[in-house]
Amino acid sequence: MSQGHVSPPLCLGDAFGRSIQYLRLSVTDRCNLRCSYCQSNAVHEFIPHEHILHYEEILRFVNIVYHLGIEKVRLTGGEPFVRKGCAEFLWMLRQKFPSLDIRITSNGTLLAEHVTLLKRIRVGAVNLSLDSFDAETFATITGRKLLPQVLASLEKLLAEGVVVKINAVALRGITEREIDNFLSFANTYGVDVRFIEFMPMGRDTLWNASRFCPVSDLLALIEERVRLQPCPSDERSDGPARMFSMAGRKGRIGVISPLSNHFCHTCNRLRLTSEGALRLCLFDDHEYPLRPMLCDPTVRDEDIAAYLRKLCQTKPLGYDLLRAKKGTAVARSVMSGIGG
């Protein structure tokens, strides 16, 4: 497939008229944190290294979907920078796809040494997962005392002018206590801070109603402090987040409420797991293993593309699946196995 020639009918679309332009690429299921909301009681075994997609296979996949109209690729995991060679992979990705919108979701613990590279490859934004600015609370949530490392990365990213967005999982009794820290951070650095509702992910999830904090509660708390003004929705840069500006302050506040406010009708994403399985919807446990095709040079890119187009036609509406899963986990795997 040569680059740059995508005739519109060949672009990825689904049976609901959604066009698919965004790929979440999990490069590893391993992570150096043990966030309580990303764990479950089930025994979790990491994917053996030999089953993980090689970087060359990932590049092959990206090349195919790039020609099917994918414009934005987000590296996620696990923690992307836990995987050896991640920085070199990012560099290759940029060399091969000069106009691709490359983004990263990271816990920030290992980022500091890669900030110069991120700037050089013109990363669109780094979404940094940070649930607390308090060292003790951070350690309680993540199981690791690594807040100083995260803050060092954050400082470097901001100093280099890399766009940063903070993602925090809304946790009852924790996030409310830290609201002022988040607001002040958003205002000081003019960044977006987004709160994500805690989802019951994985078999034997540790989710329970007493730990769940609806984002509407956080919005109410914030509005006691500052007037919020809804921002026009910008699917490309904000995804499913509902964004608000703060009167007289810099930065914005966003909320992502997958359980209480569905955004499936605008979903434009595909997920590729670190084993090379295609996932059409966060809430759909059906995964389509692509590795056998991707690692086989006798399979033509055109045939993989045709298969992808066919699969995309079956992309479901997540809220239908959620309704059916009421009372159980919304996905069989924890988030680190899917990539968020």
Stretch that binds ligand SAM, among 90-98, 114-122, 195-203, 266-274 (CB under 6 A): 195-203
Min separation Cβ 145 and ligand SAM, Å: 16
Tokens representing residue 231 in the block: 């921002």
Per CB under 6 A, the list member of 14, 29, 79, 192 interacting with ligand SAM is: 79
> Please, what is the minimum distance in Å from the beta carbon of residue 96 to ligand SAM?
23
Indicate the residue type of 265.
Answer: H
Contacts of 161 (CB under 8 A, 6+ apart): 119
Considering the complex, what minimum distance in angstroms separates the CB of residue 195 from ligand SAM? 10
Range in contact with ligand SAM (rule: CB under 6 A) among 66-74, 101-109, 152-160, 266-274: 101-109
Comparing CA positions, the residue from 214, 236, 233, 334 lying closest to residue 285 is 334
Three-class SS state of 214: coil
Q: Which of 53, 65, 102, 196 binds ligand SAM (CB under 6 A)?
A: 196
> Smallest distance from the beta carbon of 247 to ligand SAM, in angstroms?
27
Q: Which of 198, 212, 244, 283 binds ligand SAM (CB under 6 A)?
A: 198
Q: Rounded to whole angstroms, what are the CA distances from 123 to 25, 39, 99, 165, 234? A: 15, 29, 11, 12, 18
Residues 21-60 touching ligand SAM, rule: CB under 6 A, are 31, 37-38
Q: Where are the beta strands (DSSP E) in 220-295?
A: 228-230, 242-246, 252-256, 269-272, 277-279, 287-289
Q: Is the dihedral of CA 164, 170, 171, 177 positive or negative?
A: positive
Give me the least distance between CB of 6 and ligand SAM, in Å please. Answer: 29
Residue 106 engages ligand SAM in binding (rule: CB under 6 A): yes
CB of 107 to ligand SAM, least distance (A): 4
* Cβ-based neighbours of 99, under 8 Å, separated by 6 or more: none
Contact assessment for residue 253 and residue 246, using Cβ atoms and an 8 Å cutoff: yes
3-state secondary structure at position 302: helix
How far is the C-alpha of 160 from the C-alpha of 196, rounded, in Å?
27
Q: How far is the CB of 289 from ligand SAM (least distance, A)?
A: 21
d(CA 89, CA 95): 10
Q: Does 239 bind ligand SAM (CB under 6 A)?
A: no
In the range 160-189, which residues lie near ligand SAM by CB under 6 A? 167, 169
* Number of residue whose CB is nearest ligand SAM: 340
Contact segment (CB under 6 A) with ligand SAM among 53-61, 196-204, 287-295, 297-305 equals 196-204
How is residue 129 written in tokens? 């997962």
Q: Which residues bind ligand SAM (CB under 6 A)?
A: 31, 37-38, 76-79, 105-107, 129, 167, 169, 196, 198-199, 201, 335-336, 340
